[in-house]
Amino acid sequence: MDPTQAAEAAGYFDRDRLNALVLFIVFCALVLWFIRTARQNRNLFIRRIAGLNAVDEAVGRATELGKKVLYVPGIGSIDDNQTIASLAVLQHVARLTARYNTELDVPNKDPLAFASARETVREAYLQEGRPDLYNEGMVHYVTYDQFAYTASVSGVMVREKPAANFLIGSFFAESLLLAETGQASGAIQIAGTAEIAQLPFFVCACDYTLIGEELYAAGAYLSRDPAMLGSIKGQDYTKALVALLIIIGMVCSTAFHWPAFAAWFQAR
Amino acid sequence: MFFRLQLPLILTFIAGMIPIVAFFFTSEATIVKAPTDRLEKWMVIVAGFALLLGVINVIQGNLKKIERRGPGWPYAICLLVGLLVPGIFGILSAFSVGPFQGIGLRADGGYTPFAWVTRFFFEPLQATMFSLLAFYIASAAFRAFRVRNLEATILLVAAVLVMIGRIPVGDAISSAVRPGALASFTEWLMDKPNTAAQRGILIGAALGAASLSLRVILGIERSYLGLEKSE
């Protein structure tokens, strides 16, 4: 590349996003380094997440009562990270229902999430050596309309009274409608979302709630896969770094009247 | 195995990296930006086909239920009628067959069949579901605000102050002592402690989402493919 071409290429780079690029590189480096470390040393400590420890208990309760487990993967599509995180939990739940021969019901709102959820559950039953227990009706499509979907799922909760309800993924106005209906039906409820506006509703109406990052960590936590746990560790160290930068920025801006440090980190 | 494992992982890596790289370039770098727009369009097309898969699944599932006279089978008939009638009206409207001229209002202000079904069936049903929220918020609030421990008491006091501070009667109460004091305190409560807590959750969630994305792009997280371990 000659100097003219190099200058031209540099002109295409969005300099306002240099801060994001630096943090992106630091974040990736930390996560990858911890994944590597985790693969070498398998004993990584990750704090207990009560909501995820209760998953086995919820499925066990449904098995004892001979009732179904209802898994609602949210209303987001597969391009939403919360839906991907939800599928990781669904995989674990499906393995448990396959192991204990418990009925599983997964109603879907988004067609792409539906296709992925079906594949996830089918594979989970296969991995547990119980493909005979899997049927296509377990993971089914309902509708693309938010409130029609809510009405359908609420109807299942009221009529069929599942023993365990999982509300994990991306939720909006329907969060409280579903959680309260489930609460009234007497089911043990485990919810999880990263939608801040919906979290209070889940905390009020559910037995356990996965708050924000706990939802994203669920797949790693449940699988106990060292590489995945390593990425959680990397994420935690990045969070500590961000907290430190916030404190430094606060001190620089208030004590030393030097706002340039904090300003450099502003999203543009 | 290549089509089951390697190919999806390669496609995920490429589709995941394209928007990340494009984020750091200006709109003038069309060679980098264009594939992102193209990917978004492909997503819509794929979702369209997947929706068809969903509709077929709904029809199959409910026909089976009616055939076997399973529990709640009459509801399955209602569901299929509700699915097929607007669907057929919509398709006929697309081809402007007979009275089915478009899906909006007619030139004289009257309803086309599709608009009539939407206005007098679909919208009231949606509104019914949404309005249930008012009752559920009341019952959830009742449970949340019970004084069980110190945290619940703080929550109750903060909630009562915010609720009173945001209604005219709150102004009337505080004007007797110091005008606007309660409203200012409410705003402080929402802007400072509440926002600080929300941002804490937001930062954690954002890093969690980024970490999950990295795991997906690198093929470590494979549950969305129905696969388990990374090794």
What pLDDT does B2 receive?
Answer: 82
What ranges in chain B are assigned the alpha helix state H? 7-23, 30-67, 73-94, 113-117, 123-144, 150-165, 168-177, 181-189, 195-217
- pTM for this prediction: 0.92
On average, the pLDDT of chain A sits at: 93
Residue A131 CA to residue A98 CA, distance in Å, equals 8
On average, the pLDDT of chain B sits at: 91
> In degrees rounded to 5, what are phi and psi of residue A189?
-125, 130
Name the more confident of A83 and B144.
A83
Q: Are A227 and A38 in contact (CB under 8 A)?
A: yes
Please, which pLDDT band fits residue A6 given cuts at 50, 70 and 90?
A: low
Name the more confident of A2 and A208.
A208
Quick one: average pLDDT of B59-87? 94
Does residue B52 form part of some domain?
A: no
B133 CA to chain A: closest CA distance, Å?
A: 6
Question: How many domains is chain B built from?
Answer: 1
Model pLDDT for residues A131-181, shown as the tens digit of each residue: 999 999 999 999 999 999 999 999 999 999 999 999 999 999 999 999 999
Quick one: average pLDDT of B35-45? 91
Q: Where are the domains of chain A?
A: 16-45+225-252, 50-211
Quick one: average pLDDT of B91-112? 90
Q: Which of B152, B217, B230, B211 is nearest to A225 (CA)?
A: B230
Is the model's pLDDT at A40 over the cut of 70? yes
Q: Are B12 and B214 in contact (CB under 8 A)?
A: no
Selected for mutation to probe chain A from B75, B224, B230 (highest A CB count within 10 Å) is: B224
Q: Count the Cβ atoms, other than its own, within 10 Å of residue B79.
A: 21
Quick one: average pLDDT of A183-191? 97
The reply to whether A202 touches chain B by the CB within 8 Å rule is no
Is the model's pLDDT at B78 over the cut of 50? yes
- Containing structural domain, residue B164: 145-231
Please, which pLDDT band fits residue A223 given cuts at 50, 70 and 90?
A: confident
B220 CA to chain A: closest CA distance, Å?
A: 7
Assigned CATH for A50-211:
3.40.50
Does residue B226 form part of some domain?
A: yes
Is the model's pLDDT at A211 over the cut of 70? yes
Is the model's pLDDT at B223 over the cut of 90? no
Model pLDDT for residues B3-24, shown as the tens digit of each residue: 878 899 999 999 999 999 999 9
Does residue B82 form part of some domain?
A: no
What residues of B are in contact with residue A212 (Cβ under 8 Å)? 201-202, 204-205, 208
Is the model's pLDDT at A41 over the cut of 50? yes
Please judge whether B136 and A231 are an interchain contact, meaning their C-beta atoms are less than 8 angstroms apart. Answer: no
Does residue B180 form part of some domain?
A: yes
Selected for mutation to probe chain B from A161, A213, A215, A242 (highest B CB count within 10 Å) is: A213
Does residue B177 form part of some domain?
A: yes
What pLDDT does B231 receive?
Answer: 42
